[in-house]
Amino acid sequence: MTNSRLISPIYHPLNASVHVPGSKSLTNRALLISALADGKTSLTNALFSDDSRYFVDALIQVGFDVINDPKNTSLTITGLGGCIPSHKAKLFIGNAGTAARFLSAFLTLGNGEYILDGDARMRERPIGDLVEALRQLGAIVESVEQKKINFTGHIFPPIKIIASGLPGGKTKIAGNISSQFLSALLMVAPYARSPVEIELTTELNSKPYVDLTLAIMKDFGIEIQHHGYERFIAFPARYFSRPSYLIEPDASAASYFFAAPAICGGSVQVENISNRSKQGDITFLEVLAQMGCIITKVDSHLRITGHAPLRGIDVNMCDIPDTAQTLATIAPFASTPTRIRGIASARLKETDRVHATCTELSRLGVKVDEHEDGMTIYPCTVFHPTTVQTYNDHRMAMAFSLIGLRIPGISIENSGCVSKTFPHFFEVLETLRSTEVGIS
């Protein structure tokens, strides 16, 4: 396919410092909450990528004033206190799963008809659990393509929201499909006409992302009652605007640079990120530590140092599935096998990430066993040069680039797909060739 990129190996221990962009998870949550608040909020260090652009464009299309300042990585949103100006819109959100889930709930607060659609992959990603939960709260949400419901029993985009505000009440939802369903409900629940009680019917996956949602809601003035992750109660309330709200660097994006020293040796310093980050993916550092890497806090930065031999581990990544591919691509360099568990939900992401990762590792000559909830990866000493297929998944492209830093002949097909969350990923990756810390 087009836009293939050859990754050249680095033949010396790493000694570099890098910056990663603002968090996608924080940016999109703060965008929605800022639109619900009353007044202007400026998000600093916001992410500018395909995913955030779809979200911003959708907000503008339904009548919100959003000022984009890419040069200063700033987004300024004028919130309207829970009102949605436009009464009719057809929104296209590509394959931006966060935007799809959050906007589906957000638009129920309006008055009018809204259609939410995406690209071919988005039309394969089920949204029925969220739709049913919104219906239980009194919203009218319909599938535009009824035949897909009849064939599969699930609902997929496009969907139509016939909105007249959200009545509220009690609802139930599964927690093992996507934590974004719960996050979407939580963020809009205070704007329902009556209290909202959400009960989970299964164990919750990706708990740190729900913790992140609750933390941002609190930053904007609203706290949700909950005991554990089984039941949540939201009473009618209003977010306040923030003159300035700082978005942390993206911990998922940082994971690739945390991992690079594990297979190349040396150290990489990731700027302005803390091991106390609100983002759950920061705990990927604990995974690397189990494998033998050394993590050091340097002022407001984190430095990761590789330490041979790299040890294989058995780890449940249910709470941090977005970093599973990162681990999978460094695991072949370990001295013992690595078992990744708890990531069945990754099969419903931009692609079936479990199957895609196993397929591409096999093409590289790595022995790998695919399981329903993950994979087992065995040490490899002889890799096959190949062009890695990305399946239009940004995380496939970024994770498999790590192998190219060590093994010659590795190209990344459709490398431009990284624009989904990290448009300048390959430019930042190139800075690892520097041997002077501070250059990035």
Question: What does the pLDDT average to over 69-90?
Answer: 97
pLDDT at 150: 45
Question: What does the pLDDT average to over 229-254?
Answer: 97
The single residue listed with the structure tokens 């988005």 is 122
Question: What does the pLDDT average to over 379-392?
Answer: 97
pLDDT at 435: 64
Higher pLDDT, 197 or 435: 197
**Catalytic-labelled residue, pool 50, 250, 322, 393:** 322
CATH number 3.40.640.10 given to 5-21+248-433: no
pLDDT at 154: 81
Can 322 be counted among the known catalytic residues?
Answer: yes
1 pLDDT tier (thresholds 50, 70, 90): very low
pLDDT digits (tens, 9 = 90+) for 272-307: 999 999 999 999 999 999 999 999 999 999 999 999
Q: Kindly report the number of other CB atoms within 10 A of residue 8's CB atom.
A: 12
2 pLDDT tier (thresholds 50, 70, 90): low
pLDDT at 439: 36
Burial class, 2, CB count within 10 angstroms (exposed 0-12 / middle 13-18 / buried 19+): exposed
Are the folds of 5-21+248-433 and 24-230 the same?
A: yes
CATH number 3.65.10.10 given to 24-230: yes
pLDDT at 440: 36
Residue 141 has pLDDT above 90, yes or no: yes
Higher pLDDT, 440 or 141: 141
Q: What's phi and psi for 42, nearest 5 deg?
A: -105, 125
Long-range contacts for 354-357 (Cβ within 8 Å, ≥24 apart)? 356/389, 356/391, 356/393, 356/396, 357/324, 357/325, 357/328, 357/396, 357/399
What average pLDDT does the chain have?
95
Show the DSSP H helices in 220-299 as ranges: 251-264, 284-291
- For the chain, the domains span 5-21+248-433, 24-230
pLDDT digits (tens, 9 = 90+) for 199-240: 999 999 999 999 999 999 999 999 999 989 999 999 999 999
Higher pLDDT, 52 or 3: 52
Of 210, 158, 160, 159, nearest to 189 by C-alpha is 210
Burial class, 318, CB count within 10 angstroms (exposed 0-12 / middle 13-18 / buried 19+): buried
Residue 148 has pLDDT above 80, yes or no: no
Q: Do the beta carbons of residue 13 and residue 264 sit within 8 Å? A: yes
Q: Do the beta carbons of residue 84 and residue 36 sit within 8 Å? A: no
Question: What does the pLDDT average to over 311-332?
Answer: 98
145 pLDDT tier (thresholds 50, 70, 90): confident
223 CB-near residues (< 8 Å, 6+ apart) = 214, 217
pLDDT at 151: 47
